[in-house]
Structure 1
Amino acid sequence: MSTFLLEIVTPERKVYAEQVNMVSVKGTEGELGILPNHIPLVTPLRIAPITVKRTGSKDEVIAVNGGFMEVRKDKVVILAESAELPEQIDIDRAKAAKDRAEKRLADTKQDNVDFKRAEASLQRAVNRIGVSGK
């Protein structure tokens, strides 16, 4: 089975660089499955896990918090605001962030609550908790 190079890059570092058979992502317009020799495209990504399939290994799930995906003939580059492998996720920190975001969203009496930021924070925390598997 043919493969392509998948790179996941954040402003701080390269999180992932491996030859893969397929990657599934959630774009702003819906879910996409990318196979080798996919037509070139660029699309924005949602805060959601991505799934990576490689021959001879279990599916890998990576927490990606927004960004863009560029698909080329033999390479896919995901430029993410942040990204974490399951073993890198601090589950206690993610749960604390989820609780803080939920409290901010529940407190409708405060005029200074930035609901978009609180909602994005909640999505990131839920994404990280889901990917960590705990």
Structure 2
Amino acid sequence: MTQLLVSVVSADQEVWSGEATMLVARTVEGEIGILPGHEPLLAILARGEVRVTLPGGEKITANADDGFLSVENNIVQVVARRAGLV
């Protein structure tokens, strides 16, 4: 099964990176879910949670303040002004 390769970074540190089966984030246009095979996307993040589901079903949550989310070829990059694990 294809996985996502996710990276969540803030202005001064890498918060989390690894493989995932799904990512949900809040954008200025509303919540968006990303699964493997998602079309290329560039979205502006709104303040809120970034929820990552790992291959074993475990979930990781990070708070993110402003920034952007990009998706291309199953690589998801979340770049936030401030971010940290919950």
TM-score tier, shorter chain, comes to: over 0.9
Shift of 1:24: 0.3
Letter in 1 for 2:43: T
Residue-by-residue CA offset, 1:15-56 (whole Å, 9 max, x unaligned):
111110000011101110000111001010110011111121
Q: How large is the Cα RMSD of the aligned pairs?
A: 1.1
What's 2:40 paired with?
Answer: 40
Which gives a bigger RCO, structure 1 or 2 (Cα 8 Å, sep 6+)? 2
| Structure 2 residue 84 is matched with structure 1 residue 84 | yes
Q: How does 1:1-134 map to 2 (within 5 A)?
A: 1-86=1-86
Letter in 1 for 2:61: V
Shift of 1:59: 1.5
Describe the SS at the equivalent of 2:55. coil
How far apart, in 1, do the equivalents of 2:11 and 2:74 lie? Answer: 23
Shift of 1:74: 2.0
Answer yes or no: is the 8 Å Cα contact 2:67–2:80 preserved in 1: yes
Q: Report how many aligned residue pairs link the two structures.
A: 86
Residue-by-residue CA offset, 1:100-120 (whole Å, 9 max, x unaligned):
xxxxxxxxxxxxxxxxxxxxx
Answer yes or no: is the 8 Å Cα contact 2:19–2:55 preserved in 1: no
Letter in 2 for 1:28: V
Q: What's the TM-score, normalizing by structure 1?
A: 0.61
Moved over 2 A (4+): none
How far apart, in 1, do the equivalents of 2:16 and 2:58 lie? Answer: 16
What's 1:113 paired with?
Answer: none
Bigger helix fraction: 1
What's 1:100 paired with?
Answer: none
Higher radius of gyration, 1 or 2: 1
Letter in 2 for 1:2: T
Answer yes or no: is the 8 Å Cα contact 2:25–2:51 preserved in 1: yes
